[in-house]
Chains A and B, each alone.
Chain A
Amino acid sequence: MAKVKLSEFAMARSGDKGDGSNVGIFVTSDADFEVIKRELTVERVKQHFSKICFGEITRYEAPNMLALNFLLRDSLGGGGSESLKTDAQGKTHGLGLLEMEVER
């Protein structure tokens, strides 16, 4: 096992959900799905987004897509229409997650 960035083997997409965002991340092999299931714990994702997400994080699994979906509450600086931030829809959060280093 070696430390690698998620962006080397995973893809992601994110968007807004109320005052938070969702980050979907997926891979292309069963072995890598095991890697992201093991490495991407709610705690690690929370720590990774510590300056972006100020609420609870929920993780869902979608094995048919080899995907995990994270809901990040309070991550937009107010709801999508109320936030003053540039990325009021959390569209960049997916790329942010792919910067994380994991053991693979």
Chain B
Amino acid sequence: MRDKINIGYGQGFWGDSILGPVRLVKEGPLDYLALDYLAEVTMSIMQKLKGRNPNAGYATDFVQMLDRTLPDIHEKGIKVIANAGGVNPDACLEAVLELARKKGIKGLKVGVIDGDDILTRIPELAQNGHAMKNMDDGRPLSGIQDKLLSANAYIGAFAVADCLAAGAQIVIAGRVTDPALVGGPMIHEFGWTPEDYDKLAASTVAGHIAECGAQCTGGNYTRWRDVKDFVRIGYPVIEAQADGQFVVTKHDGTGGLLTRDTVVSQLLYEMGDPENYLGPDCAADFTSAKVEEIGPNRVQISGVKGGAPTDTYKISLSYQNGYKAVGQLTVAGPDALEKARLCADIVWGRLAFDGCEFSEDEKMVEFVGAGMTHAGILESDNPPEVVLRIGVKSDNKAKVNRFGSEIVPLVTSGPPGVTGFAGGRPKATDIVGYWPALLDKTQVQTRVRVEES
């Protein structure tokens, strides 16, 4: 058992830069590389892909990343933890083993964690009295049960530790929580138990700081002019200790900025009640963390307190919730905003003239460039040009497509200076609704399996 480990966090979401993990592996000391690929909406996309192809439904970015890094990872003995399995961890495992074989790497141990995907079990669970009401508004599941696209439980760090204990160098998980990707290695290396609530809470805080990659090292930082070298921005490395204390740092020579202020910025990201941050393994009190800058690019976190978790897992369901389309046109000045408003009125007017009406809730109009992100706070009433962004949502797909056909005609039948219709006619696409709920922990069993190349 070690008393200190370095965990790098290389990818904050599906679509994040491949340079994060590639450089973390090459540019400095690393024991573990954690990567997050799953957002709520990602699971439904993956279920759709799997429906069309039984070998799809995982984060293919992960395999592309390994294609560039696997020789280094193998040589340096870096362990990799990723929730790249999506809704098909087994297919992801096969793809990684195949890649290892292609690269002539023998004896690479790849593990999977499954049990989080409960989509096919929802009818049985509902029948057995598990309500799975919407956590945000209390709606009953029955209203959307026939429209479900995905259903997953947020698994904790102990499943990750189990997979490491089974010998895996590469751990492929489905819907584990983002903080569990760094908590798992700590539990495995330091021998923490499920009752070590303060330490588990510290790992949750560490995971929360690192889970968006460069968002704690200068990315999306208010005082962005202080950030040096965005091009080579360093990704976070957690130097974890067995007692739960840790340092957030980044590799020497990398760009970006890592200070008390960049770390506090990220601690506040997507925060609810800071005294009671609920996860599958503990309840963490973020107000107990002592945040200290102890050197250049080194921020230490200590004193984190935690409590027992609840008896339920948070589960995340997604469902088909109608259709949407959004289109845009650029309107040049003079009088850009006034003309853009007229354009929007023309679209609604022509649709109504043809018997196609939308309620106020179904319509969306934005004037990009006139201050729409800061409505009521920082607006301009006469910008030199604006982009008209106009959209609708409806359960009626044909109506949504009818809307899409009335945007481009404005170029020749509206006020002057309307251009930028690249992208053409917007088509109806699915709206994916998100349904957070709770499920008794006894109903979810995780399993780990390790295979060798």
Question: Interface on A for B, CB 8 Å cutoff?
Answer: 7, 11-19, 22, 24-26, 28, 48-52, 60-67, 69, 71, 77-82, 84-87, 91-92, 94-96, 98-100
Instruction: Determine which of B273, B291, B434 lies in contact with A79 in the assembled complex, contact meaning CB atoms within 8 Å.
Output: B434
How far, in angstroms, from A17 to B164 measured CA to CA in the complex?
32
Whether A85 pairs with B136 at a CB distance below 8 angstroms is no
How far, in angstroms, from A99 to B27 measured CA to CA in the complex?
39
Instruction: Determine which of A13, A22, A64, A86 lies in contact with B265 in the assembled complex, contact meaning CB atoms within 8 Å.
Output: A13
Enumerate chain B residues within 8 angstroms of A81, measured Cβ to Cβ: 40-41, 318, 431-434
The digit string for B63-90, where 1 denotes a CB below 8 A from any CB of A, is 0000000000000000000000000000
Whether B261 pairs with A52 at a CB distance below 8 angstroms is no
Whether B377 pairs with A48 at a CB distance below 8 angstroms is yes
Given A24-B269, A82-B321, A94-B222, the answer on whether A64 and B376 have CB atoms closer than 8 Å is: no
Whether A65 pairs with B267 at a CB distance below 8 angstroms is yes
Enumerate chain A residues within 8 angstroms of B268, measured Cβ to Cβ: 12-13, 22, 24-26, 62, 65, 67, 69
Whether B273 pairs with A60 at a CB distance below 8 angstroms is yes
Whether B433 pairs with A65 at a CB distance below 8 angstroms is no
Given A11-B261, A24-B268, the answer on whether A96 and B374 have CB atoms closer than 8 Å is: yes
How far, in angstroms, from A19 to B377 measured CA to CA in the complex?
21
Task: Pick the most buried of A66, A78, A84, A85: most chain B CB atoms within 10 A of its CB.
Answer: A84
How far, in angstroms, from A60 to B287 measured CA to CA in the complex?
10
Enumerate chain B residues within 8 angstroms of A94, measured Cβ to Cβ: 222
A103 to chain B, nearest CB (A): 18
Q: Is the interface of A mostly helix, strand, loop or mixed?
A: mixed
Instruction: Determine which of B272, B288, B364, B375 lies in contact with A52 in the assembled complex, contact meaning CB atoms within 8 Å.
Output: B375
Task: Pick the most buried of A24, A66, A100: most chain B CB atoms within 10 A of its CB.
Answer: A24
Task: Pick the most buried of B267, B271, B376, B432: most chain A CB atoms within 10 A of its CB.
Answer: B271
How far, in angstroms, from A12 to B136 measured CA to CA in the complex?
25
Within 8 A of A (CB), among B364-387: 364, 366, 368, 372-378
* Interface residue? B220 (CB, 8 A): yes
How far, in angstroms, from A58 to B400 measured CA to CA in the complex?
36
A42 to chain B, nearest CB (A): 15
Instruction: Determine which of B220, B287, B377 lies in contact with A63 in the assembled complex, contact meaning CB atoms within 8 Å.
Output: B287
* Interface residue? B289 (CB, 8 A): yes
**Whose C-beta in chain B lies nearest to the C-beta of A68?**
B268
Enumerate chain A residues within 8 angstroms of B372, measured Cβ to Cβ: 86
A2 to chain B, nearest CB (A): 21
Instruction: Determine which of A19, A22, A63, A80 lies in contact with B271 in the assembled complex, contact meaning CB atoms within 8 Å.
Output: A22
Whether A13 pairs with B266 at a CB distance below 8 angstroms is yes
Q: Is the interface of B mostly helix, strand, loop or mixed?
A: mixed
* Interface residue? B2 (CB, 8 A): no
* Interface residue? B223 (CB, 8 A): yes
Given A13-B266, A24-B269, A60-B274, the answer on whether A84 and B223 have CB atoms closer than 8 Å is: no
Whether B375 pairs with A13 at a CB distance below 8 angstroms is no
How far, in angstroms, from A100 to B270 measured CA to CA in the complex?
21
* Interface residue? B275 (CB, 8 A): yes
Given A11-B265, A82-B431, A82-B434, the answer on whether A64 and B289 have CB atoms closer than 8 Å is: yes
A sample of 19 more A-B contacts (CB under 8 A), given A52-B376, A65-B268, is A12-B265, A16-B270, A22-B272, A24-B269, A51-B376, A65-B267, A65-B289, A69-B268, A77-B364, A81-B41, A81-B318, A81-B431, A81-B434, A82-B432, A84-B326, A84-B364, A85-B366, A91-B220, A94-B222
Whether B270 pairs with A22 at a CB distance below 8 angstroms is yes
Whether A82 pairs with B433 at a CB distance below 8 angstroms is yes
Instruction: Determine which of A71, A79, A86 lies in contact with B272 in the assembled complex, contact meaning CB atoms within 8 Å.
Output: A71
A96 to chain B, nearest CB (A): 5
How far, in angstroms, from A1 to B286 measured CA to CA in the complex?
32
A65 to chain B, nearest CB (A): 5
Within 8 A of A (CB), among B130-166: 136
A58 to chain B, nearest CB (A): 8
* Interface residue? B324 (CB, 8 A): yes
A101 to chain B, nearest CB (A): 11
* Interface residue? B126 (CB, 8 A): no
How far, in angstroms, from A91 to B291 measured CA to CA in the complex?
24
* Interface residue? B389 (CB, 8 A): yes
Instruction: Determine which of B221, B270, B274, B366 lies in contact with A86 in the assembled complex, contact meaning CB atoms within 8 Å.
Output: B366
Whether B373 pairs with A86 at a CB distance below 8 angstroms is yes
**Can you report 9 A-B residue pairs in the complex whose CB atoms are below 8 A from each other?**
A12-B222, A26-B264, A52-B376, A62-B268, A65-B264, A82-B431, A84-B326, A86-B366, A86-B373
Whether B391 pairs with A84 at a CB distance below 8 angstroms is yes
How far, in angstroms, from A85 to B324 measured CA to CA in the complex?
12
How far, in angstroms, from A99 to B379 measured CA to CA in the complex?
12
Enumerate chain B residues within 8 angstroms of A16, measured Cβ to Cβ: 270
Enumerate chain B residues within 8 angstroms of A100, measured Cβ to Cβ: 377
